[in-house]
């Protein structure tokens, strides 16, 4: 079969039934974002020391694109008490002087920076991230007990421009490690 268009003569194969034969490659949105330099990972080295606290916060600073949280991986480094971790949405965050600023890593080799927003963790005693307002919506919850365990959540939570994603500790003092992967769409 011959196809004509845009001033070119092109050909395409068809099968015995007259159906067009095609070749397709499908790539995930996250793959495309990484290819374009819009996919990131952020370390979580958080120390909860004063009870109920936000372990980390990611505020989407992109003017038009959503930030999509693709996965959260978290484990407890030093266990003190059983605790719940909540993934929260819909809070309002304004940075004052709390927490430790984090610079997310671009997952595309050779590309540096590019994450747009505010990214903080609790990293030391007395650095609570407390400047939150609004009513939180709990988008996920996990319990950590005395049994060593790693929590990995493949999520797909969408954070519009100017909105916030956070991990909240329900009030126990513990030390956590992990990372959050996200991209802009």
- Kindly state whether residue 21 falls inside one of the protein's structural domains: no
pLDDT for residue 163: 92
pLDDT for residue 115: 92
- Kindly state whether residue 52 falls inside one of the protein's structural domains: yes
Tokens, residue 26: 């499908």
- Kindly state whether residue 74 falls inside one of the protein's structural domains: yes
- Averages of pLDDT over runs of 10 residues in the chain (185 residues) are 56 84 76 80 81 84 94 81 86 77 89 87 69 81 76 87 90 83 92
pLDDT for residue 50: 65
Distance CA(14)–CA(36), nearest Å, equals 34
pLDDT for residue 22: 79
- Kindly state whether residue 14 falls inside one of the protein's structural domains: no
Distance CA(52)–CA(43), nearest Å, equals 21
Q: What is the pLDDT of residues 116-161, one digit of tens each?
A: 999 988 876 556 676 777 788 888 888 887 666 778 888 889 999 9
- Kindly state whether residue 123 falls inside one of the protein's structural domains: yes
- Kindly state whether residue 81 falls inside one of the protein's structural domains: yes
pLDDT for residue 159: 94
For all residues of the chain together, what is the average pLDDT? 81
Using DSSP bridges, classify how beta strands 8-11 and 2-5 pair: parallel, antiparallel or unpaired: antiparallel
Are 106 and 114 within 8 A, CB to CB? Answer: yes
- Kindly state whether residue 34 falls inside one of the protein's structural domains: no
User: For residue 52, what is the domain's CATH number?
Assistant: 2.60.120
Give the CA distances from residue 29 to residues 22, 140, 156, in Å, rounded to whole numbers and listed in that order. Answer: 22, 22, 11
Q: What does 21-66 look like in DSSP terms, one character per residue?
A: P-------HHHHHHHTT-EEEEEEEEE--SSSEEEEEEEE--SSPP
Question: What is the domain count for the chain?
Answer: 1
Q: How far is CA 147 from the centre of its chain?
A: 26
Distance CA(159)–CA(65), nearest Å, equals 9
Distance CA(94)–CA(80), nearest Å, equals 30
- Rg (the chain; Cα; Å): 22
pLDDT for residue 175: 81
pLDDT for residue 6: 59
Domain of residue 110: give its range: 40-184
pLDDT for residue 99: 79
Q: How far is CA 9 from the centre of its chain?
A: 46
pLDDT for residue 135: 80
- Kindly state whether residue 108 falls inside one of the protein's structural domains: yes
């Amino acid at each position: 079969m011959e196809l004509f268009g845009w001033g070119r003569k092109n050909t395409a194969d068809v099968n015995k039934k007259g159906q067009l034969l095609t070749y397709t490659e499908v790539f995930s949105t996250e793959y495309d974002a990484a290819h374009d330099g819009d996919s990131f990972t952020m370390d979580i080295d958080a120390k909860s020391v004063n009870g109920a606290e936000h372990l980390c916060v990611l505020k989407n600073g992109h003017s038009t694109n959503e930030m999509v949280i693709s996965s959260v991986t978290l484990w407890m480094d030093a266990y003190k008490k059983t605790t719940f971790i909540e993934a929260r949405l819909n809070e309002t965050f304004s940075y004052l002087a709390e927490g430790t600023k984090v610079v997310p890593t671009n997952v595309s080799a050779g590309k540096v920076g590019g994450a747009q927003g505010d990214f903080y963790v609790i990293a030391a005693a007395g650095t609570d991230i407390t400047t939150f307002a609004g009513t939180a919506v709990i988008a996920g919850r996990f319990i950590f007990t005395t049994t060593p365990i790693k929590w990995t959540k493949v999520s797909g939570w969408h954070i519009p421009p100017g909105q916030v994603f956070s991990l909240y500790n329900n009030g126990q003092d513990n030390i956590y490690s992990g990372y959050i992967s996200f991209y802009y769409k």
